Chains A and B, each alone.
Chain A
Amino acid sequence: DAKTTQPPSMDCAEGRAANLPCNHSTISGNEYVYWYRQIHSQGPQYIIHGLKNNETNEMASLIITEDRKSSTLILPHATLRDTAVYYCIVYGSSNTGKLIFGQGTTLQVKP
């Protein structure tokens, strides 16, 4: 079973920041938080991952709480092309190549 909980759906206005929450209260010390998104009929696209520090790349920012029990993915200026299903995944070396996908959050960016 997935170790994460995400809201099933969210809306965001185009040009505004999209903040996608994820709860992972049972995360272990050596487990990373990964975010992917999937646009209909395409393979999941890697967005970002982190252990305990906040991370930023050209796509998004990842904010992990100090207790590591939750995180937020931030898309700073959402566009219509960001409409997708977003998956938050907890992954540790004991998983050995196995990402466990939950149901994800369907983000709808509206004009």
Chain B
Amino acid sequence: KAGVTQTPRYLIKTRGQQVTLSCSPISGHRSVSWYQQTPGQGLQFLFEYFSETQRNKGNFPGRFSGRQFSNSRSEMNVSTLELGDSALYLCASSQEGTSGNTIYFGEGSWLTVV
């Protein structure tokens, strides 16, 4: 079956713009999490959604937001982009998000802010 799909794979934005990234989880998975990966900070958790509700949130400013749709697909948005937002953004999905679930990652979206 298809894995976690993220679009777009690569994008370049200008400071001050906003960006929306999309994630399609594995069929049947209702939990979707987002992560940011940078060389300096490593992999950091942004937020998690389950059945259209945000259940958990990392320590990121309010410029980072997300949502989940009724079909479990998720989007994340970053407004007023800063140079430091350049990163690999990863989406992960699992059936329930509970311990013991297998959690799969997508290939990520590479965002460059210039």
The range of chain A's interface size is 20 to 34
* Chain B residues, CB < 8 A from A34: 103
Task: Give the interface segment out of B13-21, B50-58, B79-87.
Answer: B50-58
Partner of B99, one of A95, A101, A103: A95
Stretch of A7-15, A37-45, A63-71, A73-81 lying at the B interface: A37-45
Q: How long is the Cα–Cα vector from A43 to B110 in the complex, in angstroms? A: 11
- Count of interface residues, chain B, beta-carbon cutoff 8 Å: 31
| Cβ contacts under 8 Å, B45 to chain A | 98-100
- Cβ of B72 within 8 Å of any chain A Cβ, yes or no, is no
B95 → A minimal CB distance (Å):
11
Instruction: Type the 1/0 row for A16-60, where 1 means its CB is closer than 8 Å to any CB of B.
Output: 000000000000001110101000011111100101000000000
Partner of A31, one of B35, B88, B99: B99
List 4 A-B pairs, minimum CB-CB distance, nearest first: A97-B48, A101-B43, A43-B105, A97-B97
Residues of B within 8 A of A (CB): 4, 31-33, 35, 42-45, 48-50, 55-56, 58, 88, 90, 92, 94, 97-100, 102-108, 110
Q: List 13 A-B contacts (CB under 8 A).
A: A32-B99, A41-B110, A42-B108, A44-B90, A45-B105, A87-B43, A91-B99, A92-B99, A96-B48, A96-B55, A97-B92, A99-B35, A102-B42
